[in-house]
Amino acid sequence: MKVSPKGAPQLKEEVFEPGLCTACGGCVGYCPYIKAAADRVAMIYPCNCEEGQCYQVCPRTLTDLPFFRAQVFGERALEFNKFNQDSLEAVLGVCRALYFARAGAAAGSFQGQYGGVTTSLMRYVLATGKIDGALLVGGKPAQPRPVLATTIQQVEACTGSKYAAFPTLSMLYQPTQNLSSLGLVGRPCQVTALRKMQQVKAGAAGQVKLAIGLFCFWSLGPEFIPWLIEMGLGLIDKMDVTVDEVLFQKGEEVIRQNLAEIRSFIKPSCQLCYDPVAELADLAVGSTEYEADWNTLIVRSQAGENLVKEALQQDILEVKPYPKERLPLLKQAVLTKKQRVLQALKAEKENNRVGYLNLSPAEINFYLKL
Amino acid sequence: MGWQDIVREEPGKQVLLNGNEAMARGALEAGVHFVSAYPGSPSSEVTGVLAQVSKNFNFYVEWSVNEIVALEGAAGASFAGLRALCTMKADGLNVAYDFLTSMNLGGCRGGLVLVVADDPFGHSSLKEYDSRFLAAAAWVPVLEPSTVQEARDMVKWAFALSEQIKGPVIVRSVTRISHSRGIVTLKAMKQMAQEADFKPTQQFHTFARFHQEVRERLKQVEELFAVSPFNFSFGPEKADLTVFTCGTGWLYTKEALFSLQLEDQIKIVRPGTPFPLPKQFILGHLSGTKKVVFIEETRPFLEEKVLALYALHSENLSQIKFYGKATGHVAGLRGPECGEMNTDIVREVLARLTGRPYHASAAPLTKEEKKSLQALLPPRDYVLCPGCPHRASFWVVKSALALEGNNGMVIGDIGCYSMGAMETGFNLFNTLHCMGASAGIANGLSKLQSYGFKQPVVAMVGDSTFYHAVIPALINGRWNKANYLCIVLDNGVTAMTGHQPHPGSGKNAVGEEAEVISIEEVAKSLGFMVKVSDPFRYTEAIHDVLKLIRMPGLKILILRQPCALVANREQKRRKVVVRQELCRGDACGCMRFCTRVWGCPANVWDKKHEVAAIDPAICVGCGVCIELCPAGAIVWEGND
């Protein structure tokens, strides 16, 4: 793995100061100098460490993607690295299977986002003892809070997307952590950070056995929640984003806002995110933007595949083939994002700034030519 | 020693008192009726000890909310014919100055004495300066004692002088008088008539036309000073070299002459009444001398007055060469006119002028000498006490502003928490000036939005400072729609000056129960959004700071925890220990956060095991480091 022997001062200079912190929480809680309050992360005091774990685990510092693909997917990654222009994987990342999925009949009833895949799977792995704790974001959209769920009820209380970036990975440093295997539901940047944390054996990262990554084209910065409250939307139960609208749901009432209303809250770091579909996760889950009661599910790792198989057998999950006519749309959305980021990073390199991704020139050229 | 000695009824007995106690004794011997002050080093103990003994004598003592209120109260007593004493540090004279300059015009009746204690070098002050210049500008006579006994004598005489001239009198002390101990021969304590009497026909007004009367009054004072035993000389009657000195300079000069064996060659002239200058006394000693050296504390006050006098009378005097601070010849490490006087400075200038061999004890060291000496000394910086709630408050605000992320400014104020401008306070303060300045500056900064200043502003004030000088600034801020967060650090007492009670303490100067003037009630009554929070609950307090910063307008957050010294005295809290097996030592990414950055003296480093430890002798059990240790190695005893 390529790493930079850098520490907190460089993290501050390269990530915090340019506004590139994703609020993943990977650096929060290991030391007394980086703190989080709700969805904000900041370095509060210079620690003077020349080399720091904080720098190494950050998803916006040098990220050796090929290395992590190999770590998570083994031989599958080698195949992926061949960049077959026609393959779906070239754009979506390692992909053992791609489905429309939703909670199965045996999953019980709860109000998840779209098809409720994430909640039903997390409930299942907790109930069956595959994990004994899950790192989630709980609370309503305007009062998100990190939750280390150890009961099914706690998992259910965390259903629904929050859209505000929340540094849940900080919980992996909690010194009272007494759980042997953990699950994580996180944004793609958090999954990347988790993989980096696992590499340097940070906190309890090694105990995370299942990482479900959420599709994420952007998340919202710390000004979003104050705005929600100001707009009288502090008590909404659920939030959803469509192509051009934001839906705030409070009980039966749905308030619609133009998407442009919240665009200004998008975190700057999301503009440089190369990975909208959680390429290093075991499973990646998102909306279908097609059928409201279903999720898109990408099965990535062997562990993910095993779990999905079992869940299907147990009727925890229900899947159907990904509609062929939707595939180009999904591919194009992800590809456009990747190309935009590669262009931006290329421009930064030309300005003598270091892009965080370590990709081979072949890979970069491949995407830019697609 | 101490308050038992200052109330002793044994004329002729010699007791050991410090300068402040001696001045308190002087007030008792003068039969003082009314004492008021706002505490401030090095003046605090004068009123402090009088408060302790007031019940034995049945006179009135109060800690006032600030110096001008204190002086106004004392003036009220004086107008009613009573003897009143008002004490303050030099900075306090600024606060009281508007009233002093007004009242001096109209004059007073009962003896009204101000003890103003300067702090050369700023040992316990943010600034050093010479209050004699302010006294002179206000046309108020000044007495300047050189010894502890003289401090007593001068305070006592100042009451009589004040009554004779019908105006206030200032006794100027300095740290080395107020805080030095010396032998005082007790005199009888006077029993004054207790009847306060302010006749309806009496008037004390301030009008410009009285200016002339004050001038006449000063002339009268000068005549009295001309025959005052406080002005004397020492050594040969005629000498080519004469030292003019006052205040602490008298003993420094005597010591210097003794050690240089120059006592029979050099004359010392010691005016104890530097303003108005006893002109005939000074002229008498200028006559026949060739060289004059000035030794005085802080600025060249006496020097300038004498030089002006010499200029006016030069035709009758021989040519004299002057050596002093104004001329640059008398200078300590900080240069002339700055810093504190000491014997070495005097020795050095006198040796130079007389050619006596002399090696200063504070001669510059070689690099090697410095290094070897520094190795012997533990590094000592200013430090907040173990468990001080201010440390927790500073860390909360430091954290909150970093998390807020918009380069928030912190505007500091005066108290123990002025150390927020130092390493022990995480260098938090962007500005630090005088009592109450924080809220005023914050008002101004928060109105600069139209000029592009968008940073959040936090003013940090102490509880005593809140009552002293902050309330008008807050009212101004509310009136003018200021937009900042005012944090009141409420530790229940005026801690820095010695734990004097304040309006929120529930006690008055003499220890009686008193109405609590609640900070939050005051703030609420002015219409402010107020929140009370506990700085020891780090995460919650950060949340409160962030929440309030984001709210529009001027908000008030009270961070409340009793002063650690008081809390520790009243109730020993739980014991904190380090689970050393959990401390990652130097392998921790924290780089010894607890001992290096957090800096509580109770967090220590166990050199043998190379892990953190707690010094149980000084830990007060606040428990804040428990929450801050990233390894969870610091715990409550019993949780280990």
Q: What is the mean pLDDT of residues A285-312?
A: 93
Which of A12, A17, A31 is the best residue to mutate to test the B interface, defined by the most B CB atoms within 10 Å of its own CB? Answer: A31
Nearest 10 degrees: CA dihedral of B250, B253, B257, B262? -90
Instruction: Give the Å distances, CA to CA, from B493 to A368, B39, B126, B389.
Output: 68, 11, 20, 13
B265-308 per-position pLDDT tens digit: 999 999 999 999 999 999 999 999 999 999 999 999 999 999 99
Tell whether B562 and B581 lie within a shared domain: no
**CB < 8 Å from B in window 54-93 of A:** 54
CB contact under 8 A, B590 and A33: yes
Which helix H or strand E contains B488, and what residues bound it?
strand B485-490
Chain B contact for A29, CB < 8 A? yes
Average pLDDT rounded to a whole number, residues A188-199: 96
B167 and B272 inside one domain: no
Q: Please, which pLDDT band fits residue A82 given cuts at 50, 70 and 90? A: low
> pLDDT tens digits, residue range A242-260?
878 888 988 889 999 898 8
CA dist B76 and B70 (Å) reads: 10
Interface of A with B in 83-142 (CB under 8 A): none
How far is the CA of B91 from the CAs of A87, B300, B431, B498, in angstroms? 79, 19, 18, 17
Q: Is some CB atom of chain A closer than 8 A to the CB atom of B403?
A: yes
Domain final residue, candidates B534, B569, B604: B569
CATH number, domain of B530, equals 3.40.50.970
Q: Are residues B424 and B534 in the same domain?
A: yes
> Is A259 part of a structural domain of the chain?
no
A14: its two tokens: 């390269």
Q: State whether residue B426 sits within 8 Å of chain A by CB.
A: yes
Which residues from chain B sit within 8 angstroms of residue A40, using beta carbons? 403-405, 546
- Measured in angstroms, the CA of A32 and the nearest CA of chain B are apart by 6
Residue B562 resides in a domain:
yes
Domain that residue A312 falls in: 8-223+265-369
Q: How many CB atoms lie under 10 A from the CB of residue B322? A: 18
| pLDDT value of position B378 | 83
**Range B463-478 average pLDDT:** 97
Q: Specify the number of domains making up chain A.
A: 1
Mean pLDDT of B355-381: 81
In the prediction, which pLDDT does A140 show?
84
Shared domain check, B482 and B335: no
Predicted local confidence at residue B363, as pLDDT: 62
pLDDT of A83: 66
Q: What is the mean pLDDT of residues B235-242?
A: 95
The torsion of the CA quartet A78, A80, A81, A84, rounded to 10 degrees, works out to 130
Tell which A residues from 200 to 229 touch B, by Cβ distance under 8 Å: 222, 226
Angle at CA B90, nearest 5°, toward B33 and B153? 45
Q: Closest Cα partner for B27 from B146, B153, B119?
A: B153
User: Which among B329, B354, B379 is the end of a domain?
Assistant: B354
Answer whether A40 sits within 8 Å of B404, measured CB to CB.
Answer: yes
The answer to the question of residue B199 being in a domain is no
Q: Kindly report the CATH number assigned to the domain that includes residue B615.
A: 3.30.70.20
Number of independent structural domains in chain B: 4
d(CA B221, CA A167): 75
pLDDT of A168: 93
Does the pLDDT at position A211 exceed 90?
yes
Contact in structure between B118 and B235 (CB atoms under 8 Å): no
| Contacts of residue B290, Cβ cutoff 8 Å, sequence gap at least 6 | B240, B241, B318, B319, B320, B321
pLDDT digits (tens, 9 = 90+) for B559-583: 999 999 988 887 767 899 999 999 9
Strand order of the β-sheet with B60-63 is: B60-63, B34-37, B84-89, B112-118, B169-174, B142-143
Tens of pLDDT, residue by residue over B36-94, are: 999 999 999 999 999 999 988 889 999 999 999 999 999 999 999 999 999 999 999 99
Q: Touching check for A230 and chain B: CB below 8 Å?
A: no
* Same domain (yes/no): B436, B492: yes
Q: How near does any CA of chain A get to the CA of B83, in Å?
A: 55
Is residue A186 a part of any domain in this protein? yes
Give whole-number Cα distances, B33 to A231, B190, B209, in Å: 63, 11, 31
Evaluate whether residue B422 is within a structural domain: yes
- Same domain, yes or no, for B253 and B166? no
Show which of B544, B569, B594 is a domain's final residue: B569
Residue A349 has pLDDT above 90, yes or no: no
Q: Are strands B266-271 and B241-245 parallel, antiparallel or unpaired?
A: parallel
% of residues, chain B, pLDDT over 70? 98
B628 shares contact with chain A (CB less than 8 Å):
yes
A232 close to B (CB below 8 A): no
Which of residues B609 and A75 earns the better pLDDT score?
A: B609
For residue B522, what pLDDT band results from cuts at 50, 70 and 90? very high
Number of CB pairs, chain A paired with chain B, less than 8 A apart:
67
**Half-sphere exposure (Cβ direction) of A222: Cα atoms closer than 13 Å:** 19
With an 8 Å Cβ cutoff, is A33 touching chain B? yes
Contact A35 B403 (CB under 8 A): yes
Query: What is the pLDDT at residue A96?
Result: 92
The Cα of A25 is separated from the nearest Cα of chain B by a number of Å equal to: 13
Task: Report the distance separating Cα B612 and Cα B626, nearest Å.
Answer: 12
CB contact (8 A) between residue A36 and residue B631:
no
pLDDT score recorded for residue B147:
98
Partners of A30 on chain B (C-beta within 8 Å) are: 589, 630
* 8 Å CB contact of A45 and B426: yes
Tokens of A204: 């309890």
CA dist., res. A283 & res. A212, Å (int) = 5
- Across the interface, whether the CB atoms of B402 and A173 are under 8 A apart is answered no
DSSP designation for A355: P
Cβ of B629 under 8 Å from any chain A Cβ? Answer: yes
Question: Helix, strand, coil % (nearest 5) of chain B?
Answer: 40, 15, 40
Are B547 and B584 members of one domain? no
Average pLDDT score, chain B: 94
Q: Which residues of B touch A32 (CB under 8 A)?
A: 590, 593, 597-598, 628-630
Contact residues, chain B, for A44 at CB < 8 Å? 398-399, 402-403
Cα B587–Cα B593–Cα B594 angle in degrees, nearest 5: 115
Per-residue pLDDT band for B379 (boundaries 50, 70, 90) equals confident
User: Quick one: B593 and B558 in the same domain?
Assistant: no
Q: Residues of chain B with pLDDT > 90: what percent?
A: 88
Half-sphere exposure of A138 (CA within 13 A, CB side): 13
Residue B505 and residue B490 in contact, taking contact as beta carbons nearer than 8 Å: no
Q: Chain B residue closest to A32 (CA)?
A: B630
* B55 residue type, one letter: K
- What does the alpha-carbon distance between residue A320 and residue A335 come to, in Å, rounded to a whole number? 24
Chain A positions touching B402 (Cβ under 8 A) are 35, 42-45
For residue B278, the SS3 value is coil
* Nearest residue to B348 via CA among B361, B364, B334: B361
- Structural domain boundaries, residue B268: 231-354
Closest CA to A190 of A316, A280, A100, A315: A280
Is the residue at B201 inside a domain? no
Contacts of B426 in chain A (CB under 8 A): 45
B342: exposed, middle or buried (Cβ count in 10 Å: 0-12, 13-18, 19+): buried
- pLDDT at site B381: 86
Query: What is the distance between the alpha carbons of residues B546 and B2, in angstroms, rounded to a whole number?
Result: 48
Verify whether the Cβ–Cβ distance B582 to A29 is below 8 Å.
no
Could you tell me what percent of chain A has a pLDDT over 90? 43
The whole-angstrom separation of Cα B585 and Cα B589 is 9
Whether B478 and B531 map to the same domain: the answer is yes
Average pLDDT (B434-445) is: 97
C-alpha span between A293 and A315 (Å, rounded): 17
**Could you tell me if residue A242 is inside a domain?**
no
Q: The domain spanning residue B299 has which CATH number?
A: 3.40.50.920
Is B500:B63 a contact under the CB 8 Å cutoff?
Answer: yes
CA distance B468 to chain A (A): 32
How would you classify the pairing of strands B576-578 and B555-560? Answer: unpaired
Query: Would you give the distance in Å from CA A171 to the centre of its chain?
Result: 16
Are B402 and A41 an interchain contact pair (Cβ–Cβ within 8 Å)? no
Q: What band does B237 get if pLDDT is binned at 50, 70 and 90?
A: very high
Residue pLDDT, tens place only, B166-192: 999 999 999 999 999 999 999 999 876
Per-residue confidence (pLDDT) for residue A2, from 0 to 100: 66
Q: How confident is the model at residue B2 (pLDDT cuts 50, 70, 90)?
A: low
Residue A169 belongs to some domain of the structure: yes
Nearest residue in B to A53, CA atom: B589
At A153, is the secondary structure helix, strand, or coil?
Answer: helix
d(CA B61, CA A273): 70
Residue A30 is nearest to which of B405, B543, B589, comparing CB atoms?
A: B589
Distance from CA of A42 to the nearest CA of B (A): 5
Q: Cβ neighbours of residue B364 under 8 Å, at least 6 residues apart?
A: none
The tokens describing B538, both together, are 């780090």
pLDDT at A115 over 70: yes
What is the pLDDT averaged over residues A293-308?
95
Residue B16 inside a domain? The answer is yes
Could you say which of A29, A44, A45 has the minimum Cβ distance to residue B630? A29
Among the listed residues A1, A14, A3, A6, the one whose alpha carbon sits nearest the alpha carbon of residue A355: A14
Q: Are residues B557 and B586 in the same domain?
A: no
Q: Which of B398, B630, B632 sits opposite A45 (nearest CB)?
A: B398
Is residue B1 pLDDT above 60, yes or no?
no
Which residues are CB-contacts of B371 (< 8 A; sequence separation ≥ 6)?
A: none
Buried b (16+ CB within 10 A) or exposed e, B418-444: bbbbbebbbebbbbbbbbbbbbbbbbb
pLDDT (average), residues A186-202: 95
Same domain, B14 and B149: yes
In whole angstroms, give the CA distance from residue A266 to residue A250: 23
Instruction: Find residue B332's DSSP bridge partners.
Output: B335
Indicate whether B368 belongs to any domain: no
Contact B630 A176 (CB under 8 A): no
- Both B221 and B243 in a single domain? no
Instruction: Give yes or no for residue A4 having a pLDDT over 90.
Output: no
Q: What is the pLDDT confidence band of residue A356, given thresholds at 50, 70 and 90?
A: confident
A160 in a domain, yes or no?
A: yes
Helices (H), chain A: 8-11, 53-57, 65-73, 75-80, 89-92, 117-127, 152-156, 188-199, 224-230, 260-263, 302-313, 327-350, 361-369
